A = this chain, B = another copy of it.
Amino acid sequence: MSANQPLKNIAILTSGGDAPGMNAAIRSCTLAALHYGHKVFGFLHGFKGLINNEFILLEEQKVRDIIHCGGTILKSARCPEFLDENNQQLAADHLDNLNIDALIVIGGDGSFCGMLALNKHYKGQLIALPGTIDNDVDGTDHTIGFATAVNTAIDAIDKIRDTADAFERVFVIEVMGRHSGFLALNVGIASGAEQVITFENFKNPGVELQNIAEHIKLCKEKRGASSYLIVAAENLWPQGIDQLCNDLQNYANITCTPCILGYIQRGGSPVPKDRIMATKMGVAAIDAIINGKTMVMIGEVSATIVEVKIKYAVRHKKQVNGDLLMAQNSILDIAELAKINKL
C-alpha cells in the first residue's frame, strides 16, 4: 500500500443483531482509512440508514475510545423493507450522491444477503465483516462477537451451578444461536454441563427425552445427589425449554428449573479475542478496498486474515467442528462409560 493511491470515500454500517466487537471493527476501519488519508462516513441504523440517508462523519476522535464498548455507535435495526427493490435503488442513490467509493457492512448472513441485493444497484465496492454472536458464517473460524457471547453465557452458568449444587437440582439453560449450535456446544463444554441439546446431535424429542432421563438417573446413581446442568440451544425443543422441563417431569418425574439467558448474551465489553479479530479485520477491509476488491468478506482462518466471496459465506452453512462433538461425547457421556464398565 502506498500513499499514492487515490483517496476514497468509505462508508460503514452495522446491521442485524448487535454483537460485541462491532465498535472495535468500526474503530479499526476508521483509523486505518484515516491512516491512508481516506474519508469515512458512518450510516446509522443499518440498511435503514441507507434508505433514509442518515449518516455521520467518522473522525479519529469519535472512534478512538470505543474498542472496549459493547453495542454499536452506528446503531442497528432490522430492515425488512430492504427486500423492496425500490429501497435498494434508493440506498444506491444515496451512496452515489455522497460519492461513496466503498461500503463496509458489519453483520451476519442476513446482512450479506442485503449486500447481494444492493450490488445490483450500486457500482461501488462492497466489503463484508462477519459480526454476529451466532458464529454461523462460513469462511471464517469465528465471527465478531461470538467469543464474548460464549464468555457471558459461561459467567452466567458458573453462577447457576452454585445454586444447582447447593440444592442438588437439575437446571435447563437456554442459550442463543438462532439455528446453529455453536453457542450451545461451546458453552456446554466450557461450563462442564452434564448435557448439551443442540442441532448437531438432536434426533427427536422422544428419543432425547429418554436419553436425558436415563443419563440424569445414571449420574445420580454414580455420584449420589448432585447438580445436573443441561445447556439447550434456542429454537430447538418444540415449544421451548419450559416445555422440556414439563416433559421431563411427566416422563420421568424429574424436576427441572428452566433459565433463559436471553439478551445479556448480546452485549457487554468485547473480550480481547473479539477486539483483536475485529481490529485485524477492519484493517484488512481497508486494505481490500485499496486493492480494488469488491463483494468479499474478510475472515480469519488459523489466526490469518483471508478474503472470501460473499456468495460463498452466504451459501454455505458452517458446520460445528467435529472435534467439539467428539469432546462432548467423550467427556459428557458417562452413560457410555457405564456400559463399558459393565463389560
Residues of A within 8 A of B (CB): 3, 14, 17-18, 20, 27-28, 31-32, 34-37, 60-61, 64-65, 67-72, 75-77, 141-142, 147, 150-152, 154-156, 158-163, 165-168, 171, 186-187, 189-192, 222-223, 257, 259-264, 266-269, 271-273, 275-276, 279-280, 283-284, 286-287, 301-305, 321, 323-324, 326-327, 330-331, 333-334, 336-337, 340-341, 343
Question: Which residues in B have their C-beta under 8 angstroms from that of A163?
Answer: 17-18, 70-71, 263, 266-267
Docked Cα-Cα span, A333 to B37, in Å, equals 13
- Known A35-B337, A304-B321, A337-B35: A151·B272 in contact at CB below 8 Å: yes
Known contacts A70-B159, A331-B32: A324-B18 contact under CB 8 Å: no
Give every chain B residue within 8 A of A3 (Cβ-Cβ): 340, 343
Q: Which residues from B are CB-within-8-Å of A279?
A: 189-190, 327, 331
Contacting A321 at CB < 8 Å: which of B32, B67, B75, B303? Answer: B303
A216 to chain B, nearest CB (A): 15
Show 26 residue pairs from A and B whose CB-CB distance is below 8 angstroms, ordered by the A residue.
A18-B162, A34-B337, A35-B336, A35-B337, A36-B337, A36-B340, A64-B192, A67-B190, A67-B191, A70-B159, A75-B166, A75-B168, A142-B303, A155-B155, A156-B156, A158-B267, A162-B267, A163-B267, A189-B275, A190-B276, A259-B262, A271-B271, A276-B324, A283-B326, A283-B331, A304-B321
Q: How far is the CB of A338 from chain B (nearest CB, A)?
A: 10
Q: With A and B bound together, what is the CA distance between A61 and B219 in angstroms?
A: 12
Contact B264 A159 (CB under 8 A): yes
CA distance in complex: A159, B260 (Å): 15
Whole-angstrom CA separation of A27 from B20 in the bound complex: 26
Residues of B within 8 A of A323 (CB): 280, 283-284, 303-305
Alpha-carbon distance between A35 and B328 when the two chains are bound, in angstroms: 12
A267 contacts across to B, CB distance below 8 A: 158-163
Closest to A157 in B: B264
> Contacts A3-B343, A159-B267, A321-B304; is A150 near B286 (CB within 8 Å)?
no
A147-B272, A190-B272, A273-B273 known; 7 new pairs, CB 8 Å cut-off, are A35-B337, A35-B340, A61-B223, A158-B268, A283-B323, A286-B330, A303-B323
B283 near A166 with CB under 8 A, answer: no
Q: Which residues of B contact A150 (CB under 8 A)?
A: 272-273, 276
CA distance A324 to B49 in the complex (A): 32
A314 to chain B, nearest CB (A): 20
Q: Are B151 and A327 in contact (CB under 8 A)?
A: no
Interface centre among A37, A159, A223, A259 (most CB of B within 10 A): A159
Q: Which among A18, A71, A151, A171 has the greatest number of chain B C-beta atoms within 10 A?
A: A71
How many Å lie between the Cα of A275 and that of B190 in the bound state?
5
Quick one: given A275-B189, A280-B323, A323-B304, are A165 and B35 in contact (CB under 8 Å)? no
Bound CA span A90–B283, Å: 50
Give A44 to B162 CA distance when docked, in angstroms: 15
From B20, B72, B272, B333, contact of A35 by CB (8 A): B333
